[in-house]
């Protein structure tokens, strides 16, 4: 009998073209997603007289460098960003790939657009020149970010050389306490295994907690897999997956849907499949989380305090913690709920979908912001839905600034920045030094915590406004 296989092994094998003696594997790429950073890849093609291998499997949208004040090309002030966004338009016209451009209602952050349009499907190998491509694994795909030279290879051949990663199953069981979001779950996981704890592995998330999540919540969890050092994150497709995809623009239809669904149902890991590593967590012990340091593993419950480096077991860990505290301007023992912030950002490919905005608006409607707040929806379709549901009006009445979609303050490439020494509560995925601007200080939070923080001006437990504290 055949050996039981993990979901990762099944998808890897389905896309494997050849494996060399040294372990290098040539893989067929099912979908190539791209953003405004595709500029150099097409320069490579043209410099060598090459054609785009599969225009039908290449999809792009501008997101990193675009203005969130306006989606007019001429309103992109930075000349470099203006050039690369314009080049994306020109390359789409020249090479024939699908572009969800600035004036297209389907535009958005690439990792929001892929699932939204039904491009992200179970069993596909999906790549993008962006580290948070792991997001798409929430729908049962094998998805990971690739570097500039790899992007060129995919554009020219629709294939990619890789070495097979190891597997790690992270099982989370139990009902989440009230007020604990998917963002809190993934921050708790990263705190457990470390910022580099999944290096060289593909994570499969399993357990009742993951199964009970909505697709949008699973997208948040898989999005931050890279923050644990993982190559990719995945969740087995199930009935929620199929219901989410049914009827989306690029999803199969008719007989093709029936064939696709039959294949998708064969993808979950077989009973008895062996993973290289296993981790288990109890979700009933989780609480709303906030980062205190300069990587996503340096987090604690909002009810806690800034940890003391002296409590770390090793000197290297003590030194790293102290560097983080020095950068963040915090001291051991400070109550996290006493930390004042200068501004709040609600957006990014981690937490700017419609469910995220609903959660933030439910808190925002209870008061008025006392610090500047920027809300940037994950896509133009999300923006329109939020406006139709009245969420945008709630934000405006609470003093939140309602913007266009884009990566915005998450990566700070479009002028949306946190000033040096200033402190921002952010629903994004990274709190590295300078991530939101040189010298900026970032606290990673959920949308609900971001909104609660905006109303108080300090890191705040959203449960205090949910009646669940």
Using DSSP, state whether 363 is helix, strand or coil: helix
> Where do the structural domains in the chain lie, given as residue ranges?
7-277, 310-464
* pLDDT score of 468: 45
DSSP code of 213? S
| Cα–Cα distance measured from residue 369 to residue 186, given in angstroms and rounded to the nearest whole number | 27
- If phi > 0 it is left, if psi is from -120 to 50 it is alpha, else beta; for residue 426 that is beta
Cα–Cα distance, 466 to 18 (Å, whole number): 54
Would you state the pLDDT for residue 467?
64
User: Which positions of the chain have pLDDT values less than 70?
Assistant: 1, 467-469
* Nearest C-alpha neighbor of 99 from the set 123, 80, 119, 125: 119
Residues 161-210 have pLDDT tens digits of: 999 999 999 999 999 999 999 999 999 999 999 999 999 999 999 999 99
pTM, whole model, 2 decimals?
0.97
Other Cβ atoms less than 10 A from the Cβ of 287: the count is: 18
Instruction: Return the structure tokens found at 311.
Output: 């409590």
Q: Does residue 221 sit in helix, strand or coil?
A: helix
Tokens, residue 286: 């989780």
pLDDT of res. 2: 86
Q: Do domains 7-277 and 310-464 have the same CATH topology?
A: yes
Angle between helices 79-95 and 39-47 (to 10 degrees): 50
pLDDT at 39: 87
Please spell the DSSP secondary structure of 282-305, one letter per residue.
EGGG---EEE-SSSTTSEEETTSB
Structural domain 7-277, CATH architecture: 2-Layer Sandwich (3.30)
* Cα distance between residue 93 and residue 290, in whole Å: 44
Q: State the virtual CA torsion across 292, 214, 250, 154 in degrees, nearest 10.
A: 40
CA distance 145 to 231: 8
The domain made up of 310-464 has a fold known as Aconitase; domain 3 (3.30.499)
Q: What is the DSSP letter of 421?
A: T
Distance CA 420, CA 440 (A): 5
State how far Cα 379 lies from the chain centre.
13
What would the pLDDT profile of 121-171 be if each residue is shown by its tens digit? Answer: 999 999 999 999 999 999 999 999 999 999 999 999 999 999 999 999 999
CA 140 to chain centre: 15
Q: Provide the pLDDT for residue 469.
A: 39
Q: At 143, give phi and psi (nearest 5°).
A: -135, 130
């Amino acid at each position: 009998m055949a050996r039981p296989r993990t979901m990762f092994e099944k998808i890897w094998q389905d896309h494997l073209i050849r494996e060399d003696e040294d372990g290098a594997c040539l893989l067929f790429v099912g979908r190539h997603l791209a953003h405004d950073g595709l500029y150099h890849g097409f320069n490579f093609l043209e410099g060598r007289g090459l054609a785009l291998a599969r225009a039908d499997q290449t999809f792009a949208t501008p997101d990193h460098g675009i203005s969130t004040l306006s989606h007019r090309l001429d309103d992109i002030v930075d000349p470099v960003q203006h050039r690369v966004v314009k080049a994306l338009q020109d390359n789409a016209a020249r090479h024939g790939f699908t572009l969800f451009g600035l004036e297209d209602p389907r535009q958005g952050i690439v990792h929001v657009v892929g699932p939204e349009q039904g491009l992200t499907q179970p069993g596909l190998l999906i790549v993008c020149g962006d580290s948070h491509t792991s997001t798409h694994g929430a729908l049962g795909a094998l998805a990971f970010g690739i570097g500039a030279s790899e992007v060129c290879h995919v554009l020219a051949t629709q294939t990619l050389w890789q070495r097979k990663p190891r597997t790690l199953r992270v099982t989370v069981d139990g009902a989440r306490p009230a007020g604990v979001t998917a963002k809190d779950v993934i921050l708790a996981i990263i705190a457990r295994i470390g910022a580099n704890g999944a290096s060289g592995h593909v994570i499969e998330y399993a357990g009742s907690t993951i199964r009970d999540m909505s697709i949008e919540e699973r997208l948040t969890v898989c999005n931050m897999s890279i923050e644990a050092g993982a190559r990719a994150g995945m969740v087995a497709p199930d009935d929620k997956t199929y219901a989410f995809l049914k009827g989306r623009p690029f999803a199969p239809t008719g007989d093709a849907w029936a064939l696709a669904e039959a294949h998708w149902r064969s993808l979950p890991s077989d009973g008895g499949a062996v993973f290289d590593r296993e981790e288990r967590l109890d979700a009933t012990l989780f609480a709303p989380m906030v980062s205190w340091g300069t990587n996503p593993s340096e987090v604690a419950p909002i009810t806690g305090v800034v940890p003391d480096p002296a409590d770390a077991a090793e000197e290297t860990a003590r030194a790293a913690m102290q560097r983080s505290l020095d950068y963040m301007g915090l001291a051991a023992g400070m109550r996290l709920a006493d930390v004042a912030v200068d501004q709040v950002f609600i957006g990014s490919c981690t937490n700017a979908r419609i469910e995220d905005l609903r959660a933030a608006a439910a808190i925002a409607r209870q008061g008025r912001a006392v610090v500047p707040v920027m809300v940037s929806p994950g896509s133009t379709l999300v923006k329109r839905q939020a406006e139709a549901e009245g969420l945008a009006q709630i934000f405006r009445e609470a003093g939140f600034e309602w913007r266009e979609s884009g990566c915005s303050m998450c990566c700070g490439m479009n002028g949306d920045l946190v000033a040096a020494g200033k402190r921002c509560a952010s629903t994004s995925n990274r709190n590295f030094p300078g991530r939101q601007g040189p010298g900026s200080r970032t606290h990673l939070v959920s949308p609900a915590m971001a909104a609660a923080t905006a109303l108080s001006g300090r890191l705040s437990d959203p449960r205090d406004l949910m009646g669940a504290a």
